[in-house]
Amino acid sequence: MVDAESRDAVVRLCEQDPFFRNGLRKSFRIYAWGAAFA
């Protein structure tokens, strides 16, 4: 779970992951959700 300003910030974070950079993690998925309070 990540709290970030934008989707691009999350992509940058995932791409900096050592497992991803070294080929040990082939891909990642980003799911987003929001909550509304009335």
At 38 the pLDDT is: 67
Contact 20, 14 (CB under 8 A): yes
Instruction: Evaluate if pTM is beyond 0.75.
Output: no
When pLDDT is cut at 50, 70 and 90, the band that residue 30 belongs to is very high
How far apart CA 25 and CA 38 sit, in angstroms, is 40
List the domain boundaries for the chain. 1-33
Look at residue 36 and tell me whether its pLDDT is greater than 80.
no
Q: What are the b/e assignments for 8-28, b being 16+ CB within 10 Å?
A: eebeeebeeeeeeeeeeeeee
Kindly report, residue by residue over 3-29, the tens digit of the pLDDT.
899 999 999 999 999 999 999 999 999
At 29 the pLDDT is: 96
- At 27, give phi and psi (nearest 5°): -160, 175
